[in-house]
Amino acid sequence: MADLRWAILGTGRIAAGVLPRLSRSTGNIVVAVASRDRVRAQELCDRASASADCAPVALEYEEIAGRAGIDAVYVTLPNSLHAEWSLRLLESGKHVLCEKPLCATRAEAERLATAARKAGRLCVEGFMYMHHPQTARLVELARGGSPIGAVRLIRSNRNVCNRDPYILSSRLNHSLRGGALMDIGCYPLSLALLVMGGAPEWSSLRASAELGRWVGGPSGGCIEKENGERVWIGERGGVRADFLSESAEGLVDESCSFSFSFPSGTRFEGECSFTKGAADGASVFFEMIGERGRAYTTHPFSPDPDRQVLLVESDGKSTEEVFERGGDKFVNQFERFARAARGEVAALPSMDWSLIEAEAIERIHSAVGVRW
């Protein structure tokens, strides 16, 4: 069977970091990289030719849609461009794997679902952690007959006390559709929706957020909160006045808490933050509490490819479930995509699932006052 021929849209951190893994995954080959600036695309192509087993050509975005010899496109653009470019690519007959979160509204997700159906192509949201066996086990544990019993409460945080001005300058940028929920909160949200396997009761949704924006540039600045308080990142003296005047106007959530119930009565409580968590790292966990026990992991979204441990308690007895050689989640994701494109397995996540995720994001934003 011929390899799926990929183009990568964008040349940022995720594109550069993941290209070698797409290249080495079974069933896939990288044939093109596209940038707003062809020179940047060429630089990434040169690095790929030197270190990965492929020789992609450098293109500009507009060239990808109409180009023959490209079967699938990995969209690694800022969140504000996900829906627009995924739609164009689907309409031009390409399969699409788009970085999370695929959409910020239900209506956008519905447009993509319709386009994918019409074109007979895949549109898949890139939640790489779903492609590690620990995630499959969590889904199993949430279903009937599990050793933890019927799940009553799910709690999950992704609090990442971020100190990187490059990251914060885009993640707290309203025009790029930043915010904690879009960047990191979509992980706890997505895993709760995945294990429960259906839509929540939207009327049960509660959410609160601290809003803010990045004031500065990619090399330094501060998080300015709604009340005017400024949390400086890096050297205050290093921030030029013109950076401050260039800053984005709109506010996004720098921290966000959300909870809702599923029809079964299971409650979910999630939290994400760029400022909470340990100053030198992250505070991340996923916990399911059932009638007979619980499952708990501190690495739900970055499971160890070699040896991942999941704690499972049942009827007072505690067990460490170990996943040896679960594999690189990105490599697993690309291999699953290739098999789905050949019709051998279902895509993960499904587009139906992404519709629910998009609606959850839209409703949480609406509840906390983030508007696009």
Ligand X SMILES: NC(=O)c1ccc[n+]([C@@H]2O[C@H](COP(=O)([O-])OP(=O)(O)OC[C@H]3O[C@@H](n4cnc5c(N)ncnc54)[C@H](OP(=O)(O)O)[C@@H]3O)[C@@H](O)[C@H]2O)c1
Give the footprint of ligand X on this chain (CB under 6 A).
10-15, 35-37, 40, 76-79, 81, 99-100, 126, 128, 170, 176, 183
* Nearest Cα residue to 43 out of 29, 33, 30: 33
CA gap 165, 151 in Å, rounded: 39
Give 78 or 147: the residue with its C-beta nearer to ligand X.
78
Specify whether the backbone of 246 is left (phi greater than 0), alpha (psi in -120 to 50) or beta.
alpha
Q: Which residue is nearest to ligand X (CB)?
A: 12
Smallest separation, CB 62 to ligand X (Å)? 12
Give 10 or 270: the residue with its C-beta nearer to ligand X.
10
Active site residue 100: yes
Smallest separation, CB 351 to ligand X (Å)? 18
Smallest separation, CB 322 to ligand X (Å)? 24
Q: Vertex 276, ends 274 and 281: CA angle to 5°? A: 80
Give 18 or 154: the residue with its C-beta nearer to ligand X.
18
User: Which is catalytic among the residues 100, 118, 276, 329?
Assistant: 100
Distances (CA, A) of 51 to 20, 138, 197, 198, 236: 8, 35, 40, 42, 38
Give 166 or 202: the residue with its C-beta nearer to ligand X.
166
Give 86 or 255: the residue with its C-beta nearer to ligand X.
86
Give 78 or 133: the residue with its C-beta nearer to ligand X.
78
Give 149 or 250: the residue with its C-beta nearer to ligand X.
250
Active site residues: 100
